[in-house]
Copies of this chain bind each other. A is one copy, B any other.
Amino acid sequence: MENMEIIFETATELLERKAFKRLRDLLTELNPADVAELFSELNDKDVTVAFRILPKDFAGDVFSYMENDKCEVLINSFSDAELRDILNELWLDDTVDIIEDMPAGVVTRILKNTDPAVRRQINELLKYPEDSAGSIMTVEYVSLKKELTVEQCFNKIRRESIDKETVYTCYVTEKRKLIGTVSVKDLLMAESTAVVSDIMETNVIFVEAHEDKETVAQMFSKYDVLALPVVDKEERIVGIVTVDDAMDVIEEAATEDIERMAAITSTDKPYLKTGVFSIWLNRIPWLLILMLSATFTGIIISGFENALSVFPVLIAFIPMLMGTGGNAGGQSSATVIRGLALGEIELRDIPRVLFKEFRVALLCGVTVAVTGFLKILLIDNLLLNMDVSYREMLVVSLTLVVTVFFAKLVGCTLPILAKAIKLDPAVMASPFITTIVDVLSLIVYFFFAMRILNI
């Protein structure tokens, strides 16, 4: 990592001194992903200069790792011939990824500079819904016929591999229908005269092109495969998803969940590349909605203004009660949201989850209440001289039990309900749960206060 810093500095210096030959030698020694990272730190003018000194095929690799804003800068600086060269070097799924994020003018230029066959494939790929398996697949896979011998297979793989993103799993088709897979490992282990139909795996795991891409990514982690074939409704193979794209989906999905759980509208742009205004726009709606929902807590407190003036010490515990309730609910919701995302919890598990949280909630509620009681006794009264009466302590402790209990049940129920009605469970996380639990805890608090303190 520290090495990288030094290389970055050297590269910038060489660029400034226009020592292009040495810069080229340095850059081509690096991994294309690292060069892309270096380029992301350069200004637009330097990027266009530095990019041009790279050898053609290396430049294509670097381009595929670059962030979309820099890609756009480069495309705008390319002549049509240069653009064609780069597009030739890219895998089709990378081209489609870039197209999806570019303004219309750039898209037109890209499509104009691809040959008709590729353009048709691109347009096919662009038709799949944004979060579908189809949107992340590539059409560059090796397909084999079941009559081929191992030797013929190797010849075909050799001929085609330069244009295929992965050759290690080949797909056996009959009238375009997927009937089996053969791995290169299987081919290597077989006699060269063996026939595909004898060595192929017929028990194929595949996904439908409209399947949600997160579900597809989960299948990679479940089945430990390097690629998954994608089929249409007639079970004809239309493409494959490779493990590197699945990994990106898994990371993006986790980021999205974490953002939603923190009441942020999620974007795919990295934080440092996102403008202040966009960040504000992603955060402010939830802040306002949650603030406005707090009107209810205001109403409840106003209704008990007189009681609070008689027992002013009760006010001091409001933040603690609401905070503890919010944390307790947030814990349950986070657990359930993550369990749902990983497929560890399914809708049919609702009774088990509820029963488990029910018991955890009781345990937590009682522990928190007892500790709360002792805290008031020892810290608030003895240490801070707050003079809380035993009856008031009882009110606070009982509220803690009931609040924690309800908070946990609300926290585990709402994400599952959201999932049941096809909403994203991640929205039902701490900020939202807290707002509900705030209201609940106040109601419980004043209920006990009325009963026990005879207000």
Contacts and interface: CB of A to CB of B under 8 A. Distances in A.
Q: How large is the interface on A (under 10, 10 to 19, 20 to 34, 35 or more residues)?
A: 35 or more
B243 A33 contact: no
A47 interface: no
* A158, A280, A338 interface centre (most CB from chain B within 10 Å): A338
A395 to B, nearest CB: 14
A308 B189 CA distance: 82
Interface string A276-313: 11011001101110111011011101100100110011
Contacts of A328: 283, 287
A224 interface: yes
Contact of A342 (B255, B283, B345): B255
Contacts of A319: 294, 297-298, 301, 318, 322, 438, 442
Contact of A257 (B157, B258, B375, B380): B258
A259 B290 contact: no
B291 A372 contact: yes
Contact of A263 (B33, B220, B327): B327
A248 interface: yes
A320 interface: yes
A386 B184 contact: no
A116 to B, nearest CB: 28
Interface stretch (A102-110, A173-181, A428-436): A428-436
A118 interface: no
Interface in A127-185: 154, 157-158, 161-162, 167-168, 184-185
A210 to B, nearest CB: 14
Contacts of A250: 247, 250-251, 254
Contacts of A53: none
B324 A290 contact: yes
B221 A248 contact: yes
A264 interface: yes
Given A302-B386, A371-B288, A283 B360 contact: yes
Interface stretch (A79-87, A231-239, A362-370): A362-370
Contact of A223 (B31, B338, B352): B31
Given A184-B184, A338-B255, A323 B294 contact: yes
B188 A283 contact: no
A212 to B, nearest CB: 11
A386 B434 CA distance: 24
A131 B112 CA distance: 50
Contact of A320 (B221, B251, B298, B380): B298
Contacts of A352: 272
Contacts of A336: 271
A314 to B, nearest CB: 10
A389 B380 CA distance: 33
B158 A189 contact: yes
* A221, A262, A359 interface centre (most CB from chain B within 10 Å): A262
B334 A258 contact: yes
Interface in A400-439: 404, 429-431, 434-435, 438
Contacts of A258: 254, 257-258, 261, 334, 337-338
B305 A312 contact: yes
By Cβ-Cβ distance, the 8 closest A-B pairs, closest first, are A262-B334, A294-B320, A254-B254, A297-B319, A224-B244, A298-B316, A301-B316, A280-B363
Interface of A: 29-31, 33, 154, 157-158, 161-162, 167-168, 184-185, 188-189, 203, 205, 220-224, 226, 243-244, 246-248, 250-251, 254-255, 257-259, 261-264, 270-272, 276-277, 279-280, 283-284, 286-288, 290-292, 294-295, 297-299, 301-302, 305, 308-309, 312-313, 315-320, 322-324, 326-328, 330-331, 333-339, 342, 344-345, 349, 352-353, 356, 359-360, 363-364, 367-368, 371-372, 375, 379-380, 384, 386, 404, 429-431, 434-435, 438, 442
22 contacts: A168-B185, A220-B247, A221-B244, A226-B226, A247-B250, A250-B250, A254-B257, A259-B338, A262-B335, A264-B331, A270-B342, A271-B356, A272-B349, A287-B364, A288-B368, A291-B324, A294-B324, A295-B380, A298-B319, A302-B313, A323-B435, A330-B430
